[in-house]
Amino acid sequence: MPLQYIKKIPAISPSPFTTTLRMTSSTQVTVVERRLISPPPRTVTATSLPLTFLDIPWLLFSPSQPLFFYDLPVSTAEFIQTILPNLENALSLTLQHFFPLSGKLVTPPLSSMPPRLEYTGDDSIFLTIVEATAADAGDFKNLTGNHPKLARDLKCLVPVLRSTGVGSKQQLLAVQITVFPEAGVCMGFALRHVVADGRTFNNFLKKWGELTKTGGVCGADGSVTFHDRAVITDPGGLESTLLKEWSKLKNSQKMENINKANGSKHDFSRATFVLRPHEMEKIKIWILTRSGMLFGSSQLLLSPYVLTCAFIWACWMKTHQFTCEDDCGEIVHYFGFIAGGITRLHYTVPNTYVGNCVGFGRSSATRKELMGENGVVYAAKAIGDTIKKLNGDMLGGAKSWISEWKVIRESELHVMVTGSPKLDVYGLDFGWGRPVKIEEVSIDTTGVISLCEGREVVGAIEIGLALPRSKMDVFSSFFIKGMNSFSIHC
């Protein structure tokens, strides 16, 4: 007998949930169960939360679509009968603390009413269970490898987010669990980041994993979440500025074109590249041996994150074969990234705060600098200098966050990375051990590059990339050649 806050949904046709989806030439997935999961009854009251200025830029971003693969050799029937009930119960208990994820993004048509997050008291998230019907261990192993694979092979592992009222109310989170019988399980998510940054979502997942392992028994950690939006102060009126920028952009045809520009990448492949600490050290030595000649006594910030991003940027530029003839060498290229705000704001924000507390960084360098033999050096200085500015004043350029993002997304000249190697996403354990692989599916359509900590080596960084198949080969070649070059000169 299902609990009151876990509702089984009958099949509805036609529906994206009841369609058999093609994944690879040998694998299909079929919906087995659909559930609505809510916080336990009467544990959360109806709540309306305003968006802070740190949430507003995320209104323009496509949903994040992370996948977590686990080695779990069980049948679909065994999973549903013995594992799923505990997962559902733990998810419900977790949503009690992270109730905004169960709610909706409300965007009223009247410009006088700003968008907000709304939880009505009985909202739910969709949990869909599907089976990879023709899968075997080889299919699962192929999907969890670092090697290039067709981007479309992962699409059907991502759940569907729904909107109602002509887009005025949008679901914020959906979950899909795909069972590869006797091989493994994939936990797939679709998340609108306007409700939660990577830190918040990681806290949600870790709490869900903890409650699953303990059978719903909470630990002695006291307060789990902090929801008071007043903790984010806005003395400079950034909310009003960013709302106006968002309002102008969301209604423009150009914005629609930006969101759809990368929507049909059928021939794309995706692969994971890994930089290990000893390889980062080689890049660092290479940069230091040349930076004095280029920048004098200027002190460079050469953290693992900077080194990784600089190397990615240089390889990406060469992959796209930009030339620097005549005046073209002075064309400016941008590198955009997300900057954590918990430690950068000049006041205290609890780590348990549910919402967004991140800023945006945009580094720039000329084509001539990036395409030359010292491209990695110029890239590292540009990214490091931007991080130094953010460390001193994260909100110094906040009024331009939306307009700068628009520039980056409008042109292939620029690149953006998402994710953080500091979140310990490979620590997400539901009692089945650590994930064997993590993928961010949204990069297939957004053109963004994903970053997370390495699974096998402490201090390593995994780089998720989606490119046309021909360019993926080129990028891989430059990646390998670059590392070999650093090795020779160290």
Q: Which entry of 136, 234, 429, 473 is annotated as an active-site residue?
A: 429
d(CA 218, CA 10) in angstroms, rounded, equals 32
CA-based torsion, 335, 340, 343, 345: positive or negative: positive
Q: Which of 38, 61, 43, 45 minimizes the C-alpha distance to 356?
A: 61
Alpha helices (runs of H) in 297-399, residue ranges in sequence order? 304-319, 367-371, 375-392
User: Residue 286: which residues within 8 A CB-CB, separation 6 or more?
Assistant: 376, 377, 485, 486, 489, 490
DSSP structure class, residue 347 = S
Contact, 95 vs 204, CB < 8 A?
no
**Token couple for 342:** 């918990």
**Token couple for 478:** 């430059």
d(CA 243, CA 335) in angstroms, rounded, equals 24
The span from the first CA to the last CA of the chain, in angstroms, equals 65
429 is catalytic: yes
97 is catalytic: no
Contact, 180 vs 132, CB < 8 A?
yes
DSSP string of 13-80, one letter each residue: SS-TTSS-EEEETTEEEEEEEEEEE-PPTTSS--EEEEPPTTTGGGGGSPPB-EEEEEE----HHHII
Burial of 470 per CB tally in 10 Å (0-12, 13-18, 19+): exposed
Query: H or E stretch including 359?
Result: strand 358-366
Q: Which entry of 97, 193, 333, 414 is annotated as an active-site residue?
A: 193
d(CA 112, CA 469) in angstroms, rounded, equals 47
Contact, 394 vs 344, CB < 8 A?
yes
DSSP structure class, residue 353 = B
Rg (CA), the chain: 23
Q: Which of 314, 411, 416 minimizes the C-alpha distance to 369?
A: 314
Q: Is 226 helix (H, G, I), strand (E, B) or coil?
A: strand
d(CA 197, CA 203) in angstroms, rounded, equals 10
Longest C-alpha distance within the chain, in Å? Answer: 73
Which residues are part of the catalytic machinery? 193, 429
